[in-house]
Amino acid sequence: MEKNGKLFSIICTGDRDGHIRVWLKHDDDLLGLCTRTGPKCRHIQSHKSSTQSGTGYHLVSRAMFTMNNSLLITATNNGDVRFWQLNCVENTSRAIGKGPLPNLTLRYDLMGIHNGGIELLMVVGDILLTSGGNDGKIIGWDISTGLKLGSVRCHSGREIKERGDIVATIRSCVVDLVMSGKERNMISLCRDGKLRLLRFL
């Protein structure tokens, strides 16, 4: 972004205390990020990564920009995903200097969409794919509406038996995806090392 005739980078970070923070960094010396004496990032804004209550922190496990860097998607170790709209708004404060500043506003709050920490965020066109916890699924979301489009079970599960009876089915989380639009297929990799080939219709 440009402010007072100078170029700045917008940086968003997530921490273990569950905060999403917006920073401005002057583009004249990006190498300053690697030195102790270089210009520092200036903190602009802070948000909570989750609205769910509880005693534990919902640390930010994944974050990514999409839609020409105007949409930030964040995920937590509690299975929550949030969509944030990034805009530039006019600033009247003299502390930071007059002119536009980056501003995050919450668009969609998808609480507890997986039963544990989010492991994967992947955007394909206008669809967000997520995985997490131990449900063995990939879920597709419409980025423009935040609505769930469907899900695919990638891990069939391992049955735990006692005295011949099934007492539990354990599934492993999908941790990575490889997609081929040309061949119309997708390969999922689960935490326990299992691969699955899925073909699109």
Which residues are within 8 A (CB) of 170 and not within 5 positions of it... i.e. 6 or more apart? 134, 157, 158, 160
pTM (predicted TM-score): 0.80
Are 75 and 63 within 8 A, CB to CB?
Answer: yes
pLDDT at residue number 176 = 93
Give the whole-angstrom CA distance, residue 69 versus residue 199. Answer: 30
Give the whole-angstrom CA distance, residue 105 versus residue 109. Answer: 11
Q: Which 3 state secondary structure label does DSSP give 32?
A: helix
Q: Which residues pair with 131 in a beta bridge?
A: 120
Give the whole-angstrom CA distance, residue 91 versus residue 80. Answer: 31
Give the pLDDT of the chain (201 residues) as one tens digit per residue. 555 566 778 888 888 778 899 988 877 655 555 555 555 788 888 888 776 655 556 889 899 998 788 999 999 998 999 999 998 887 666 555 566 788 899 999 999 999 989 999 999 989 999 999 988 999 999 999 999 999 999 888 787 777 777 777 788 899 999 988 777 888 999 988 889 898 876
Burial of 103 per CB tally in 10 Å (0-12, 13-18, 19+): middle
Q: What are the chain's domains?
A: 1-60+85-111 (no CATH), 113-201 (2.40.10.480)
Q: Give the pair of three-digit tokens for residue 171.
A: 């599934």
pLDDT at residue number 164 = 77
Q: Give the pair of three-digit tokens for residue 24.
A: 């401005």
